[in-house]
């Protein structure tokens, strides 16, 4: 069964992160992106952010990673339907830079 849903309605459900069930047909809408700030105190040189950015970017679901040497923090945007915060902290730890969550948004 093919279901045609107007674009405005699709966008409304996407922004709400919902799944639509109509008469046995379903349309899965991905969750809204999440943003988390990680503290990474063991960054000790200006090159460290390159390694951490690469590690975070390889986690499925990560759409953006902004790693700042000056603040020793990373702001990561990800799809929580594809990954969890624990996978982000695991990726930095595996790269040699343990991290902890200091803030969340969304």
The pTM of this model reads: 0.71
By C-alpha distance, which of 42, 52, 51, 58 is closest to 75? 52
Which of residues 20 and 91 earns the better pLDDT score?
A: 91
Token representation of residue 50: 């390159």
92 or 23, higher pLDDT:
92
Q: How do residues 43-84 score in pLDDT, each as one tens digit? A: 999 999 999 999 999 999 999 999 999 999 999 999 999 999
DSSP 48-89: HHHHHHHHHHTSTTEEEEEEETTTTEEEEEEETTT--HHHHH
64 and 56 Cβ atoms separated by less than 8 Å:
no
Phi first, then psi, for residue 26 (nearest 5°) are -130, 150
CA dist 8 and 103 (Å) reads 32
Give 89's pLDDT tier (boundaries 50, 70, 90). very high
pLDDT for the residue numbered 21: 47
Q: Are 58 and 84 in contact (CB under 8 A)?
A: no
Matching CATH number, 33-105, of 3.40.1000.10, 3.30.70.100, 3.30.390.50, 3.40.50.980: 3.30.70.100
The per-residue pLDDT for range 2-29, each reduced to its tens digit, is: 445 555 555 545 444 544 445 555 555 5
Residues of CATH 3.30.70.100 domain(s) within the chain? Answer: 33-105
Q: What is the mean pLDDT of the chain?
A: 83
Cα separation of 15 and 17, whole Å?
6
Q: What pLDDT, on a 0 to 100 scale, did the predictor assign at position 34?
A: 96
């Amino acid at each position: 069964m093919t279901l045609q849903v107007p674009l405005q309605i699709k966008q409304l459900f996407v922004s709400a992160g919902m799944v639509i069930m109509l008469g046995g047909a379903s349309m899965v809408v991905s969750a809204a992106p999440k943003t988390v700030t990680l503290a990474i105190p063991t960054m000790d040189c200006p090159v460290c952010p390159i390694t951490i950015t690469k590690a975070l970017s390889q986690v499925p679901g990560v759409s953006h990673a902004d790693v700042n040497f000056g603040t020793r923090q990373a702001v990561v945007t990800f799809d929580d339907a594809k990954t969890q915060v624990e996978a982000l902290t695991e990726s930095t730890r595996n790269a040699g830079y343990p991290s902890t969550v200091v803030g969340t948004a969304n």
